[in-house]
Amino acid sequence: MKIKPLQIVAHIILIIGVLLMVLPIWISFASSTHENVSILTEGMRFTLGDQFSRNYNEVLNEKGGWSEEVTAAKMFVNSFIMALGIATLKVAISAMSAYALVYYRFKLAVPIFWLIFITLLVPLEVRIFPSYKIVSDLGLTNSYTGLILPLVASATATFFFRQFYKTIPDELLESAKLDGANAWSFFIDFLVPLSKTMIAAMFIFMFVYGYSQYLWPLIMTTAEEYWTVVMGMKIIYTESYEGVALPRTAERFAYIILSMIPPVLVVVFLQKWFIKGLIQTEK
Partner 1 sequence: MSFLDLKNVTKIYPNGTKAVHETSLSVDEGEFMVFVGPSGCGKSTLLRMVAGLEDITEGDINLDGQLINEVDPSERDVAMVFQNYALYPHMNVYNNLAYGLKNRGIDKETIEQKVNDAAKLLQISDFLQRKPSMLSGGQRQRVAMGRAIVRNPKIFLFDEPLSNLDAKLRIQMRLEIKKLQQKVGVTSIFVTHDQVEAMTLADRLAVINNGIIEQLGTPIEIYNNPESLFVAGFIGSPQMNFLDANLNNKTLSAENFEIKNIDSDYNGEVTLGIRPEHLIESENGLINLKVELVEQLGSDNLVYGQIKNIKDFCYRSPGNQTIKRGDTLSLNIEENKYYIFDKSTGKRVN
Q: Which residues bind partner 1 (CB under 8 A)?
A: 169, 171-172, 174-182, 185, 189-190, 193-194, 282-283
Per the CB < 8 A criterion, the answer to whether 230 and 5 are in contact is: no
Residues written for the chain: 283
How many angstroms separate the CA atoms of 225 and 257, rounded?
Answer: 22
Q: How far is the CB of 134 from partner 1 (least distance, A)?
A: 40
Q: How far is the CB of 177 from partner 1 (least distance, A)?
A: 5
For partner 1, the closer of residues 42 and 171 by Cβ is: 171
Q: How far is the CB of 54 from partner 1 (least distance, A)?
A: 51
How many angstroms separate the CA atoms of 185 and 195, rounded?
Answer: 15
Taking phi over 0 as left and psi of -120 to 50 as alpha, with beta for the rest, 131 belongs to: alpha
For partner 1, the closer of residues 81 and 181 by Cβ is: 181
How many angstroms separate the CA atoms of 192 and 261, rounded?
Answer: 28
Determine whether 48 is exposed, middle or buried from the number of CB atoms within 10 Å of its CB (0-12, 13-18, 19+): middle
Mention every residue, 6+ apart, whose C-beta is less than 8 A from residue 264.
none
For partner 1, the closer of residues 30 and 192 by Cβ is: 192
Determine whether 276 is exposed, middle or buried from the number of CB atoms within 10 Å of its CB (0-12, 13-18, 19+): middle
For partner 1, the closer of residues 2 and 105 by Cβ is: 105
> Where would I find the beta strands (DSSP E) of 69-208?
70-71
For partner 1, the closer of residues 68 and 174 by Cβ is: 174
Q: How far is the CB of 40 from partner 1 (least distance, A)?
A: 58
Count CB neighbours of 278 within 10 A. 11
Q: How far is the CB of 107 from partner 1 (least distance, A)?
A: 11
Q: How far is C-alpha 159 from the geometric centre of its chain's CA atoms?
A: 19
For partner 1, the closer of residues 46 and 104 by Cβ is: 104
Per the CB < 8 A criterion, the answer to whether 28 and 201 are in contact is: no
The amino acid present at 49, given as its one-letter code, is G
For partner 1, the closer of residues 29 and 190 by Cβ is: 190
How many angstroms separate the CA atoms of 262 and 259, rounded?
Answer: 7
Q: How far is the CB of 181 from partner 1 (least distance, A)?
A: 6
The amino acid present at 159, given as its one-letter code, is F
Q: How far is the CB of 283 from partner 1 (least distance, A)?
A: 5
Through-space distance between the first and last CA atoms of the chain, rounded to whole angstroms? 38
Q: How far is the CB of 106 from partner 1 (least distance, A)?
A: 13
For partner 1, the closer of residues 174 and 225 by Cβ is: 174
